[in-house]
Amino acid sequence: MNHLVKAYLKFLLHSKSEHGIHSPFVFDLVTKCFYDNSHYSEYTTLKNYRKALLENQNTIEVTDFGAGSRVFKSNTRYISAIAKNAGISPKNAQLLFRVAHYFQSETILEIGTSLGLATSALALGSKKSKITSLEGCSNTLNIAKTQLEKFNLDSVQLIPTEFSNYLNTEGRQQHWKLIYFDGNHSKKATIAYFEVLLSTATNDSVWIFDDIHWSKDMEEAWKIIQNHPKITVTIDTFQWGMVFFRKEQKKEHFIINPNRSIRSHLFKKIRL
Over residues 57-67, the pLDDT tens digits come to 999 999 876 55
The C-alpha atoms of residue 41 and residue 209 are separated, in whole angstroms, by: 27
| C-alpha torsion sign, points 265, 91, 272, 245 | negative
How many Å apart are CA 102 and CA 177, to the nearest integer? 13
**3-class SS of residue 77:** strand
Range(s) of the domain holding residue 131:
2-268
As a whole number of angstroms, the distance between CA 146 and CA 205 comes to 30
User: According to the model, what pLDDT value does residue 243 have?
Assistant: 98
Per-residue pLDDT at 266: 42
What is the domain-level CATH number for residue 174? 3.40.50.150
The one-letter code for the residue type at 32 is: K
Given a contact cutoff of 8 angstroms between Cβ atoms, the answer to whether 108 and 178 are in contact is yes
Determine whether 169 is exposed, middle or buried from the number of CB atoms within 10 Å of its CB (0-12, 13-18, 19+).
Answer: exposed
User: Which pLDDT belongs to residue 271?
Assistant: 40
- Is the Cβ–Cβ distance between 202 and 181 less than 8 Å? no
**Residue pair 156/170 in contact by the 8 Å Cβ criterion:** no
What are the pLDDT tens digits along the chain (272 aa)?
Answer: 588 899 999 999 888 888 878 899 999 999 999 999 999 999 999 999 999 999 999 999 998 765 544 445 568 999 999 999 888 999 999 999 999 999 999 999 999 999 999 999 999 999 999 999 999 999 999 999 999 999 999 999 999 999 999 999 999 999 899 999 998 889 999 999 999 999 999 999 999 999 999 999 999 999 999 999 999 999 999 999 999 999 999 999 999 999 865 444 444 343 43
Model pLDDT, residue 134? 97
Structural domains counted in the chain = 1
- The pLDDT score that the predictor gives to residue 73 is 52
Assessment of whether the complete model's pTM goes beyond 0.95: no
